[in-house]
Amino acid sequence: MFVSRRLAGRISLVSLAVLAACSTPPPPPPPTPPPVVVPTVRPVPPDNAAEGMAIPTKDEEGKYLTANRGVTSNTALWHVRMALNVAALNCDKYGATARNQYNQILSVHGPILKTANSAVERNYKVAYGNAAIGSRERLNTVVYNFFALPPVIKHFCPVAVTVGAKLLSTPSSQLLLMAPQWLAELEKPFQEFYAAYEDYLRRLAEWQSRFGATVTVIVSPTPLPPPPKPPGEAPPPGWQPSYSSALEATAPPPGDTAGAAPSSSATVQPLPGATGMSVPSTATVQPLPPSASDAPVGPPAPSSPTPDDGAPRLEVQPIPPQGD
């Protein structure tokens, strides 16, 4: 009897434990993890350029406006010389080739470079008169700064060495012909940099609109103003037109009356078969009053160049050679 009671008691305790276990609620599920944060990389300027940098506007052909646009052959050759001068001064970290080439160019092509410099100087005198020197120096500063743009130097130096080698292997008589092409080659790395920077500004604007920003970003900096434009080619000293007007150019030689216009004393002959009107054969032709169309239309006379005022000339100085 005693054993049965103990067994019943144990069964009751087990039953209570089972019932207690069934009544305990299950533990809550673990919290949902936060969504994975995808890092967004803010665009940076190409070639470690500065943020908010102004770039030139484009012309009708989609190219960025520079001081090398619309230049004459003499000006193109002089700008090529300035570009190679910048390379000789700034490309030493890539070797001494650019510097050595520049000094060789001055030695091999010195006369044609001096001739081109004189032609450019004459162009400025004809275009700007007494302000010629200041105008040219302003443009020279713009050209030097253009080719010395720090983010582009590493791309510009190999091109400058390539163009320098072409220039050394070309006869002096062909430099003016090739100068515009070489100038375009030297400018290409800068055109590509401006295009990359414009693309960076576009991507920066897209990033800012999608993800926001806690800092103020200048997405569209004010573009650079158009650079000064070099003057056109002036006529050489002492040039005079071969004729003063188009009428004189087409007039027959003296003594040749064939095809000549009737003089004021010529008589009018009656038209054959004309009726109803009578024109006396002794009537004279009255000269017509002059009209605006009779104004001379030939080439204009050249402007008188400004007298030499003793101002200093821009001379080409060789760069001292340095070791590698």
| pLDDT per residue as tens digits for the range 120-149 | 999 999 999 999 999 999 999 999 999 999
What's the CA gap between 164 and 91, in Å, rounded?
13
The amino acid occupying position 138 is: R
Q: What pLDDT band is residue 292 in, cutting at 50, 70 and 90?
A: very low
| Token representation of residue 23 | 């009544």
What's the CA gap between 305 and 300, in Å, rounded?
15
pLDDT top residue among 71 and 228: 71
pLDDT greater than 80 at residue 119:
yes
What's the CA gap between 95 and 93, in Å, rounded?
6
Concatenating the DSSP letter of every residue in 113-150 gives HHHHHHHHHHHHHHHHGGGHHHHHHHHHHHHHHHHT-G
Q: What is the pLDDT of residue 68?
A: 95
Q: What pLDDT band is residue 33 in, cutting at 50, 70 and 90?
A: confident
Q: What one-character DSSP code corresponds to residue 255? A: T
- Please say whether the beta carbons of 182 and 163 come within 8 A: yes
Query: What average pLDDT does range 234-257 have in this prediction?
Result: 57
Instruction: Classify 75 as helix, strand or coil.
Output: helix
Report the chain's mean pLDDT, rounded to a whole number.
Answer: 77
- Please say whether the beta carbons of 47 and 154 come within 8 A: yes
| For helices 175-211 and 73-90, angle between their N-to-C axes, nearest 10 degrees | 60
pLDDT top residue among 6 and 244: 6
Query: What average pLDDT does range 43-61 have in this prediction?
Result: 92
pLDDT top residue among 152 and 39: 152
What's the CA gap between 237 and 308, in Å, rounded?
13
What's the CA gap between 204 and 41, in Å, rounded?
10
pLDDT in tens, 176-217: 999 999 999 999 999 999 999 999 999 988 888 887 655 555
Q: What is the pLDDT of residue 210?
A: 80
Q: What is the pLDDT of residue 16?
A: 55
Residue found by looking up tokens 């302000």 in the block = 131
Q: What pLDDT band is residue 238 in, cutting at 50, 70 and 90?
A: low
Q: What one-character DSSP code corresponds to residue 94? A: G
Query: What are the Cα distances from residue 181, in Å, to 56, 129, 175?
Result: 21, 30, 10
Domain ranges of the chain: 46-211
Burial grade of 91 (CB within 10 A; 0-12, 13-18, 19 or more)? buried
∠ CA 305-70-244 to the nearest 5 degrees? Answer: 45
pLDDT greater than 70 at residue 30:
yes
Q: What is the pLDDT of residue 118?
A: 94
Residues pairing with 284 in the sheet: 267
Query: What average pLDDT does range 238-255 have in this prediction?
Result: 53
- Please say whether the beta carbons of 183 and 72 come within 8 A: no
Q: What is the pLDDT of residue 229?
A: 81
pLDDT top residue among 44 and 218: 44
Query: What average pLDDT does range 90-106 have in this prediction?
Result: 96
What's the CA gap between 123 and 71, in Å, rounded?
11
What's the CA gap between 229 and 134, in Å, rounded?
14
